[in-house]
Amino acid sequence: MATSQDFVTWTCGSRLVPRFLLHALRAMAPDLKRIAAGSTHKTIYMPDVEKLRVPLPSLEEQRRIVEFLDAETTRLDDLARACSDQLDALAERSFASVSEILIPGTLTQPLGKYPYPWLPAMPKDTQLTRLGYVCRLQNGVTVDEGRARTDSDVTRPYLRVANVQAGHLALDSITEITVPKHVAKRSTLRTGDVLMTEGGDLDKLGRGTVWRGELANCLHQNHVFALRPELDKLDPEYLALMTQTVHGRCYFESTGTKTTNLASTNSGKILSFPVPLPNLQKQQELVRQVQKQQESVRQACQVLTLQSALLAERRQALITAAVTGQLDVTTARGVEAP
């Protein structure tokens, strides 16, 4: 099999077991990261690699180390996969729970009726209401690099599409924009606005995120919609969660305009979103139920994420200790594969 110039092929002599070299290179992972050059595309140059030194015990000891590490890393990898599977299952459970709490019967009793065949029968106290009847949509700022500056310009923090993620905001990288004062006034976010992006991955299209005033006087890009609910009729948290239900996903995926890799929506489709609308008190109670369930899922995810990190640390430490002779594999527990 041929390889490209980006790969290096090592040929082991009679004094080196190939899989021992593999584990030795894994043990040197921190050193390899340290000598890697480049900002986005990391490259390791051969002269730097050749300066590295690999422990070279006897062939018999190399084979014992390989046997031990193959068994132990397989066991740790199985545990890591189990953690990953549990995290996936928790994400599915959270998605299902949001749908069932907000719209009971979504997963078990869809009516199959046009135009929303995925919806079950609505409770007597709940009506499907077009979002535009209880919510105003605010458009954002259009960037105009060639615009001449004026004395009335103001500089404000500026929320871009990249800052609005599915269910949360990524505010580690915020830019600023200079616009006329009247433009800033009509595009300033308010606490309680629900943010949606115009385009993105199909499975994330239309997912709402509540703006909680994280940045003062913050503006938003024209590709980010700010939905401003009438607070006596529609709770912002309820609206954001509703976009994350099976109903929200099916609506935005079925109405979105799809391209090869991305999808997009528009203000008309967003304002036409049919929201199951009980009274405000019921909305807030449902939000509390969802938040309680999501908090338990979040805590479980934290535990599993920590376990995954500890397993990765244990794997690396075990390889390093065995290869460098800090661990006697002939007496170590767990030599035999499970």
Residue 30 pLDDT class (50, 70, 90 cuts): confident
**Cα distance between residue 228 and residue 239, in whole Å:** 10
pLDDT confidence of residue 52: 73
Domain boundaries, the chain: 127-277
> From 1.10.10.60, 3.90.220.20, 3.20.20.70, 3.30.300.30, which CATH number describes the 127-277 domain?
3.90.220.20
pLDDT confidence of residue 335: 44
Q: Which amino acid is at 188?
A: T
Q: Which of 85-89, 167-171, 207-211 has the highest mean pLDDT?
A: 85-89
Output 16 or 48, whichever has higher pLDDT. Answer: 16
Q: What's the mean per-residue pLDDT of the chain?
A: 88
Distances 30 to 44, 175, 320 between C-alpha atoms, Å: 13, 34, 10
Q: Which are the contacts of 262, defined by CB distance < 8 A and separation ≥ 6? A: 199, 200, 201, 202
Q: Which are the contacts of 123, defined by CB distance < 8 A and separation ≥ 6? A: 104, 278
pTM of the full structure: 0.81
Residue 336 pLDDT class (50, 70, 90 cuts): very low
Backbone region of residue 217 per phi and psi (left: phi > 0; alpha: psi in -120 to 50; beta: other values): left
DSSP 132: G
pLDDT confidence of residue 62: 87
pLDDT at 20 over 60: yes
Which of the residue ranges 6-10, 91-95, 149-153, 192-196 would you say has the lowest mean pLDDT?
6-10
128 pairs with which residues across the strands? Answer: 276
Based on the number of CB atoms within 10 Å of its own CB, is 148 exposed (0-12), middle (13-18) or buried (19 or more)? Answer: exposed
- Nearest to residue 97, comparing CAs of 107, 83, 87, 88? 107
Tens of pLDDT, residue by residue over 108-153, are: 999 999 999 999 999 888 999 999 999 999 999 988 766 777 788 9
Which of the residue ranges 30-34, 195-199, 211-215 would you say has the lowest mean pLDDT?
30-34
pLDDT confidence of residue 13: 75
Cα-to-chain-centroid distance, residue 138:
26
Cis preceding-peptide flag for 47 (omega within 30 of 0): no
pLDDT confidence of residue 338: 38
Tens of pLDDT, residue by residue over 36-47, are: 666 666 676 677
